[in-house]
Amino acid sequence: MFDLLIKNARTITGEKVEVAVTAGKIVEVAPEITAEATEVLTLADGQYLSAGWIDDHVHCFEEMELYYDYPDEIGVEKGVTTVIDAGTTGAENVGIFYKYAVAAKTNVYALVNISKTGIVEQDELADLSKVRADLITKALKEYPDFIIGIKARMSKTVIGDNGMQPLILAKEIQKENADLPLMVHIGSNPPELVDILTTMTAGDVLTHCFNGKPNGILDQATDKIKDFVWEAYDKGVVFDIGHGTDSFNFHVAEVALAEGMKAHSISTDIYIRNRTNGPVYDLATTLEKLHLIGYSWEEIIEKITEVPAEKFNLTTKGRLAAGFDGDFTIFELAQGEKVLTDSNGNQRTTKELIQPVKAIIGGKVYDC
Ligand SMILES: [Zn+2]
């Protein structure tokens, strides 16, 4: 007797699949399962099932004023079963965030900002006395299942006159703490992107990878991806979308794709303002933008399930396989017409939509 049996599903690759869940974990995945279950969920014809969607760059600590949101409003209600808050909090306030996070239906994890205050002010790394490795190590010991990495925001308004120093400190903190995942945000210079990418190493996550700024990956004079960006990509730096208010440009993404460079993971950098007023709205809308420029739905689903789970060491998430967590997203692909706007106000119209209809978290079913 299973707790939950999901019937009549198909994966994004078109295979028929049924899944049994007990005690919050997947216990069986097969083309057909005939057994008793406390709850049987039969999908409508044409609905798809994937592992639960993971958005690896969000801001959802509601006590902040600058960037804040509510985990379930950007998570379960939008078909996203797991969110990773990217540096909203630092070692000083991550414990308060944890109390809200555990109360959410959505799975919430944190990348702790290397500045002990998090993003209380826009320039959290302008004063390097706020970077306290000792406090980060202590927070990691206190919240080992919640803090899954560190975040450094490396752009002009954040770092003041500190140049590359915040990233150098972040790399030291990473080394001292078992090679924790490190996410680096990029934007306006200084610091120069070339210096950031030279300092980052394989497995480090570069978020806002397709921003349209002069200090981005595109050489605006030649309309080509900069050589040093290709070197970083080839050495294993992870390219993450981090759409955000300012950081996704259709043209940059298209030039990269034409040259053979794809984002590894897809994320929103969502918070209440870019959710309510756009251009982000939700993860599905970001997925539609990537599909519109040429990513297949199959690879898009990988980039919000398997890939982020692997990059952030969420070893029980991201796959439809026995032993993994009972987190799923049920969605439909529909025809329609929708205007999509990037962070620079460029608009494109898509006819192919992706619409989450249910999110299942630890075997519990929620409508989106
Ligand atoms: Zn962000």
pLDDT for the residue numbered 43: 98
* Mean predicted confidence (pLDDT) in 135-147: 98
Separation of CA 47 and ligand 1 centre (Å): 32
Q: How many other C-beta atoms lie within 10 A of the C-beta of residue 192?
A: 14
Separation of CA 59 and ligand 1 centre (Å): 6
Q: Which domains does the chain have, with CATH numbers?
A: 2-50+322-367 (2.30.40.10), 53-311 (3.20.20.140)
Q: How far apart are CA 43 and CA 5, in angstroms?
A: 11
H/E element, 193: helix 193-199
pLDDT for the residue numbered 347: 98
Q: How far apart are CA 99 and CA 328, in angstroms?
A: 24
Q: What is the pLDDT of residues 63-121, one digit of tens each?
A: 999 999 999 999 999 999 999 999 999 999 999 999 999 999 999 999 999 999 999 99
Separation of CA 208 and ligand 1 centre (Å): 9
For 315, half-sphere exposure in the C-beta direction (CA atoms, 13 angstrom radius) is 1
Separation of CA 252 and ligand 1 centre (Å): 19
Q: What is the pLDDT of residues 169-195, one digit of tens each?
A: 999 999 999 999 999 999 999 999 999
Q: How far apart are CA 350 and CA 338, in angstroms?
A: 5
Separation of CA 35 and ligand 1 centre (Å): 44
* Mean predicted confidence (pLDDT) in 276-299: 98
Cβ-contact 307, 282 below 8 angstroms: no
DSSP string, 215-242: TSSEETTTTEE-HHHHHHHHHTPEEE--
Separation of CA 244 and ligand 1 centre (Å): 7
pLDDT-based confidence at 259, cuts 50/70/90?
very high
Separation of CA 13 and ligand 1 centre (Å): 31
Token pair belonging to 293: 């420029």
Q: How far apart are CA 305 and CA 52, in angstroms?
A: 7
Separation of CA 267 and ligand 1 centre (Å): 10
* Mean predicted confidence (pLDDT) in 35-55: 97
Separation of CA 27 and ligand 1 centre (Å): 36
pLDDT for the residue numbered 349: 98
* Pick from 113, 59, 36: nearest CA to 271: 59
The proportion of the chain whose per-residue pLDDT surpasses 70, expressed as a percent, equals: 100
The proportion of the chain whose per-residue pLDDT surpasses 90, expressed as a percent, equals: 100
Q: What is the pLDDT of residues 298-353, one digit of tens each?
A: 999 999 999 999 999 999 999 999 999 999 999 999 999 999 999 999 999 999 99
pLDDT for the residue numbered 269: 98
Token pair belonging to 116: 């002990």
| Residue tagged 């990956």 (tokens) | 217
Q: How far apart are CA 262 and CA 233, in angstroms?
A: 9
Q: How far apart are CA 241 and CA 206, in angstroms?
A: 8
pLDDT for the residue numbered 76: 98
How many secondary structure helices (H) and strands (E) does the chain include?
A: 12, 17
pLDDT for the residue numbered 202: 98
Q: How far apart are CA 297 and CA 59, in angstroms?
A: 25
Q: How far apart are CA 87 and CA 125, in angstroms?
A: 12
Separation of CA 57 and ligand 1 centre (Å): 6
* Torsion from C-alpha of 118, 74, 329, 280, nearest 10 degrees: -100
pLDDT for the residue numbered 240: 99
Q: What is the pLDDT of residues 143-159, one digit of tens each?
A: 999 999 999 999 999 99
Cβ-contact 115, 140 below 8 angstroms: no
DSSP assignment letter at 13: T
Q: How far apart are CA 48 and CA 45, in angstroms?
A: 9
Separation of CA 305 and ligand 1 centre (Å): 19
Q: What is the pTM of this model?
A: 0.98
Separation of CA 14 and ligand 1 centre (Å): 34
